[in-house]
Amino acid sequence: MKKLIFILALVFSLDTFAQLTLNDVTLPAKAKGTTELTLNGGAVRKKAFFKVYVIGLYLGQKSKDAAAIINNNAEVLVQLQITSSVVSSSNMSEAIEEGFGKSMKGNTASLRPKIDVFINTFKKDPIKEGDVFVLNYIPGVGLKTSKNGKLVSTIEGEDFKKALLGIWLGADPIDSGVKTGLLGK
């Protein structure tokens, strides 16, 4: 009986160490920001019939509460890997603009300079299939965005982080399937 309980406990604990593979992209179980973060969930973003990117959300502690994740001033890391050659700097910029519009219900004026800096992050170099973007929000520092391991920009402000996470986790996300996946549901 003790062996059975031990085996069951081991099987159920494996979930906390599991990586996730989506569209041939493996999201590791852990990611290193300033602290070690745990994969909360992942999803494939589809546009028309293209699978444009795989996204993973990493938190200090797993959560299924989107509002709490957005509003909690804690370290958050988003890994986004481009999985389609149809993604370009131009259409990624348009998608980001659309996402902020939805997240902020069209009221983007207060964050316009920060949104422009973020969009320019994706315009600096051409985007190609396989590129990996890491968006790491660090309280008191801001959102550090890296492309393929190279720091591209830092944007200060918890307000910006909330609007950015609202693109995927807000009340009107760009893709409800992505929201569900990021919440680990």
CATH architecture under which domain 20-182 falls: 3-Layer(bba) Sandwich (3.50)
Residues 83-127 pLDDT 10s: 999 999 999 999 999 999 999 999 999 999 999 999 999 988 999
Q: Report phi then psi at 90, rounded to 5.
A: -65, -55
pTM: 0.89
Give the DSSP letter string of 83-105.
Answer: --TT--HHHHHHHHHHHHHHHTT
Which among 94, 114, 92 is positioned nearest to 162, based on CA atoms?
A: 114
User: In the predicted model, is pLDDT for residue 11 greater than 80?
Assistant: no
